[in-house]
Amino acid sequence: MTTLQLVDWVRDARQRTFELVADLSDDQLIGPRLPTVNPLLWEIGHVAWFQEKWVLRHAAKHAPIRPDADALYDSSAVAHDARWDLPLPGREETLRYLTEVRDRVLERLEQREPGPQDVYFTLLSVFHQDMHTEAFTYTRQTLGYQAPQLHLARLAADDDRGPTPAPCPRGDAEIPGGAFALGAACDEPFVFDNEKWAHAVAVRPFAIARTPVTQAEFAAFVEDGGYTQARFWSEQGWRWRQEADADHPIYWQRESAGRWQRRDFERFVLLEASRPVVHVNWYEADAYCRWAGRRLPSESEWEVAAAGEPDPSGRDLAPIKRRFPWGEAFPTPRRAHLDWHKLGCVDVDALAEGDSAFGCRQMIGNVWEWTADDFLPYPAFTADPYREYSEPWFGSHKVLRGGGWATRSRLIRNTWRNFYHPDRRDVWAGFRTCALQP
């Protein structure tokens, strides 16, 4: 990639960080002590520290800007529960730290042709920040803060989605079996260590839903007593449901007229029947599938449906793999719902131009999708310099795929693996289902 593009991404990522916290009070930047979120004041300082550590201190061998930065912001060394008790700098000092780190990174990029190390670690810091700005967004949802005050005029100017599409055919896409290369290819410009490397897997024929499960479909599960019947839940899932006292998705409530509402940041809205269900955890997704006589796709099935193509006979997989469901071209607003457009999900029928070769819609963008699989290393896995990114979480988390509406388009692709503990309900996660194997 060019130096100009790298500079633009560094500026853009930092600007989105500033936008996502600018309207919050000092009290909101600290927030309550919860296991699923960080104090935002700590988290924005952590973003600056991470970029300084890898781009300036590691790649460029610069001295630390702050002598206390490691003690404050190293997420591997500072326990989550301790982050509220740290002597954190105030808002203005923290924002100055973000600005100074950004400016030093930009100065380094603009004064010399960046080498491979500069490019790699700058991209790592940008993508790390992109993941955190998505986390800032779901933290605001978790805490009931107002919707982010982003530059909506700029977003609207980019929002050329074309005519309203015809509804996506419901039902399943039939996917042929065959050999498939799961994971990232070695010529991908940047990948995270858990995507390395593409390796052959055998996939049986399967049938996968063309669209994610909608709010209306999930409401039918709730109304049918799905949360009260242990037969629909795994043993661990039922134990979670009892401990959480969950009988519907976390942000849902009934209004006086009996209709379901969901909390969208600080306000309640009626369920949007044709939008994907969101903020459900893996246990809830698995229980819905059991109730519906369905199952979650495996990680390899999800990637085949997103990236594969049928051979000319239609009875086998072609030896072709797409970078995105629609092909090699990067996401646009007419292909994928990303980058905070609309500040929420769109209907599952939208964005027909983003369909995969098999007719699966929105496999990139709108809502993250749980898969059946545990998060495990691929056969050729070797930890990258940022060793804490993947390795500590193998075996304890589940894999999600595809990205959501608050995911950056520069970050996501068919091989990108997200991962969360199966009890997490706060992230922008939904799911699609598969038919049971015959």
pLDDT tens column, 364-397: 999 999 999 999 999 999 999 999 999 999 999 9
Same domain, 77 and 213: no
d(CA 318, CA 21): 47
Same domain, yes or no, for 87 and 203? Answer: no
**The residue to which tokens 């692709």 are assigned:** 413
The residues, ordered by sequence, that sit 6+ positions from 54 with a Cβ below 8 Å of its Cβ are 121, 124, 125, 385, 386
Residue 122 sits in the same domain as residue 172 = no
At residue 147, the 3 state secondary structure works out as coil
Mean pLDDT of 93-114: 96
Mean pLDDT, the chain, rounded, equals 95
The answer to whether the peptide bond before residue 291 is cis (omega within 30 degrees of 0) is no
Q: Let me know whether 334 and 402 are in one domain.
A: yes
The answer to whether the beta carbons of residues 334 and 364 sit under 8 Å apart is no
Least confident of 157-171, 195-209, 277-291: 157-171
SS3 content of the chain, % helix, strand, coil (to 5): 40, 15, 50
d(C-alpha 360, C-alpha 18), whole Å:
36
In 3D, which of 412, 415, 363 has the Cα closest to residue 210?
363
The whole-angstrom separation of Cα 158 and Cα 287 is 38
Residues 196 and 254 in one domain: yes
CA 431-433-434 angle, 5° bins: 150
Per-residue pLDDT of 340-366, as tens digits, reads 988 999 999 999 999 999 999 999 999
pLDDT of residue 160: 53
Q: Are residues 123 and 177 in the same domain?
A: no
Domain endpoint, select from 129, 150, 171: 150
Statement to judge: residues 144 and 163 lie in one domain: no
Question: What value does the mean pLDDT take over residues 198-204?
Answer: 97
When pLDDT is averaged across residues 97-126 and rounded to a whole number, the result is: 96
DSSP characters for 302-362? HHHHHH--B-TTSSSB-S---SBTTBSSPP-TTT-B-TTGGGS---TT--GGG--TT----
Q: Is 175 in the same domain as 130?
A: no
> Does residue 58 have a pLDDT over 50?
yes
Q: CATH code at 330? A: 3.90.1580.10
Task: State whether 288 and 407 are in the same domain.
Answer: yes
Q: Answer with the one of 150, 180, 198 that is the final residue of a domain.
A: 150
Looking at the predicted structure, is the pLDDT value of residue 147 above 50?
A: yes
What was the pLDDT predicted at 268? 97
Q: Which helix (H) or strand (E) holds 172?
A: strand 172-175
Residue 212 Cα distances to 20, 29, 288, 310, angstroms: 28, 34, 12, 22
Q: What's the pLDDT tens digit per position in 152-188?
A: 544 554 455 555 656 777 799 999 999 999 999 999 9
What's the pLDDT tens digit per position in 8-51?
A: 999 999 999 999 999 999 999 999 999 999 999 999 999 999 99
What is the domain count for the chain? 2
Q: What is the pLDDT of residue 46?
A: 98
Which of the listed residues 126, 150, 174 is the one where a domain comes to its end? 150
% of the chain exceeding 90 in pLDDT: 92
Burial class (CB in 10 A: 0-12, 13-18, 19+), 216: middle
Contact call for residues 248 and 277 (beta carbons, < 8 A): no
**Please, which residues have CB within 8 angstroms of residue 347's CB and are 6 or more apart in sequence?**
272, 274, 275
What's the domain range around 52? 3-150
Specify the amino acid at residue 102.
Answer: R
* Residues paired with residue 394 on neighbouring β-strands, in sequence order: none
The whole-number pLDDT of residue 166 equals 66
Q: Is the pLDDT of residue 149 over 90?
A: no
Query: Listing from the earlier edge strand, what are the strands of the sheet with 398-401?
Result: 418-420, 398-401, 368-374, 429-430
Q: What percent of the chain has pLDDT over 70?
A: 96
Average pLDDT over residues 406-420: 98
- CB-CB contact of 402 with 363 (8 Å): yes
Same domain, 227 and 325: yes
Q: How far is CA 181 from the centre of its chain?
A: 22
Q: Which comes out higher in pLDDT, residue 167 or 79? A: 79
> Which residue has 């290819």 as its token pair?
185
Residues 159 and 140 placed together within one structural domain of the fold = no
Co-location of 95 and 238 in the same domain: no
- pLDDT tens digits, residue range 80-90? 999 999 999 99
**Residue 157 has what pLDDT?**
46
In this predicted structure, what is the pLDDT of residue 317?
A: 97
The pLDDT assigned to 153 comes to: 44
